[in-house]
Structure 1
Amino acid sequence: MGDLANIVLLGIIEGITEFLPISSTGHLLIAERWLGQRSDMFNVVIQAGAILAVVFIYWREIRRLFTRWREPDQRDYLFKLIVAFLITALLGLITVKLGFQLPTQLSGVAWALVIGGVWMIAAEQIAARQPASERVTWTVAVLVGIAQMVAGLLPGTSRSAATIFVALLAGTNNRSAATQFAFLVGIPTMFAASGFELFKQFQGGAGIAPDWTGLAVGFLVSMAVAFFAVKWLLDFIQFHTFTAFAIYRIVFGAALLILLHGS
């Protein structure tokens, strides 16, 4: 029963942090230090649950892109999403070929949280001085694709924070428009990453039967929590800046550094 409670807690953490700009990977690495490390398959499955929640939230937008792609504006937006995804995928394949391993040191996560929080505050102030625009340019699409890959290499950075704030700085300085593009790009990107990880797990043939009950519970909890977390975020940013998330990152990261230093 204790292990099931830990699975539920990890699903909640993933659901809350996957799309909020506070780093899901960083929070899961921290949580697993005290709740016990989970398999790569478990982490992939609960991430897929969070992604599916965002598909449900943006279903109308996704359907419109594919059913009205003949309209110039819809086609332009769709092509920019595809290019951003392909850039991330290409860079991801390069890192795999180079044998890059995801760093798991908590000190690095803590510093990424702090530095990312400071960067978010500065970036939002800079973006606020630019002319208001909801338009996603090709520059935004390319930079978002690169930002996704960079965030994936540095736990604690946050994929959503990196992509949203790159979009804000590159000209899409409407918070809702920048967030929507970042999240829509994230859907195929993270499904592809999850599929690749699952493929590696099955190809590896570890010989250990997965805990299907634990995987199902983690998936469902993550999906449900992510759905409400993202809905809340989209309402929140209509009237508020991202400063509260930046402050949280700085305080949490600093506390973690103090804790690590003390231990």
Structure 2
Amino acid sequence: MNIVQSVIIGIVEGITEFIPISSTGHMIIAEKLLNIGDDAFNTVFTVAIQLGAILSVVVLYWKKFFDFSRWQFYVKLAVAVVPALVIGFLFSSKIDDLLESSITVAITMLAGGIILLFIDNVFKNPEIHNEREVSYTKGFIIGIWQCIAMIPGVSRSAASIIGGMQQKLTRSAAAEFSFFLAVPTMLAATVYKIFKYIKQYGAFTSDQIKILTIGNIVAFVVALLAIKFFITMLKKYGFRMWGIYRVLVGIILLIMLWTGYLKP
């Protein structure tokens, strides 16, 4: 991977991380189209670059993240992230294998799109309008929903937001809790992936550090712009427009795979 490719992937990550269309799925396809190899460093990059986008949440919601008088907020996030930590640790190698599969992304993109077309009609009459009203049990259940996104193409944002709506949160409240939950989840995933890489291959080279840094900075800046846009669109239009997008992309990817334009 070179710097130009890192910038492109950073833009893709920043745009897609908070929209329910799967940032990982888009990065996998982008890497295939850019002929980026699936070596160990690139696998780490696919996970680690998400940290840049996630940190934009800390900046935009810094008052909440650094209000230490509200200790319940941190406990809720800790409880909600437990399922991802356990499942991610137990099935790390399986997840890495899926990160190389364009077929998996195409199928989950299409299936997830069909679900999003109708999901707004499933969860009605929300009762919870902000994070303060989310109980520890509800947070834990939302954390379980988030684990579905370990399958590339599912979308962590979509899974956790739908999980929040299933727990009676409004769309906007579910989206914000999803953003908050992403911070410890992706921080843990990034640290774990980097630790495994260094343990097996040694320290990153200076070029690799440069590529990781630039990619994360780009993802961070782009994500700052994307978050507010997504919240506005979600409040106005719900999930249907993203469902249509996913169905179209899923069909296109299947055609590209069938014609051999995209590698499996």
Smaller-chain TM-score bracket: 0.7 to 0.9
- Structure 1, residues 28-64: CA drift from partner, whole Å, max 9, x if none? 1101112113623332432121111111111112123
The reply to whether residue 100 of structure 1 matches residue 94 of structure 2 is yes
- Mapped to 2, the partners of 1:136 and 1:209 lie a distance apart of 43
| CA deviation after TM superposition for structure 1 residue 159, in Å | 0.6
Aligned pairs for 1:1-263 within 5 A: 3-35=2-34, 36-37=36-37, 39-64=42-67, 66-69=68-71, 75=72, 77-96=73-92, 99-102=93-96, 103=98, 104-128=100-124, 130-134=125-129, 135-152=133-150, 154-172=151-169, 174-206=170-202, 209-211=205-207, 212-263=209-260
- Provide the aligned C-alpha RMSD in A: 2.1
Q: Quick one: which amino acid aligns to residue 69 of structure 2?
A: T
Please report the TM-score for the alignment, with normalisation by the length of structure 1. 0.87
Structure 2 unaligned blocks of 5 or more: none
State the shift of 1:16 in Å: 0.8
Percent identity between matched residues is 36
Per-residue Cα deviation, 1:219-258 (whole angstroms, up to 9, x for no partner): 1111100111112112322323121111111111111111
Unpaired stretches in structure 1, ≥5 consecutive residues: 70-74
Q: Work out the CA distance in 2 between the residues paired with 1:228 and 1:199.
A: 31
**Are 1:84 and 1:145, in contact at CA under 8 Å, matched by a contact in 2?**
yes
Amino acid in structure 2 at the alignment position of 1:63: F
Q: Cα deviations across residues 137-189 of structure 1 (Å, max 9, x unaligned)?
A: 4443122111222211x1000011000011112211x1110011111111101
Structure-2 change in CA distance of 1:182 and 1:101 (3 Å): closer
1:68 Cα offset (Å): 3.0
Match of 1:72 in 2: none
SS of the equivalent of 2:123 reads: helix
Structure 2 Cα separation of the partners of residues 149 and 20 of structure 1 = 17
Aligned CA distance change for structure 1 residues 208 and 217 (closer, same or farther; 3 Å): closer
Q: Which amino acid aligns with 1:252?
A: V
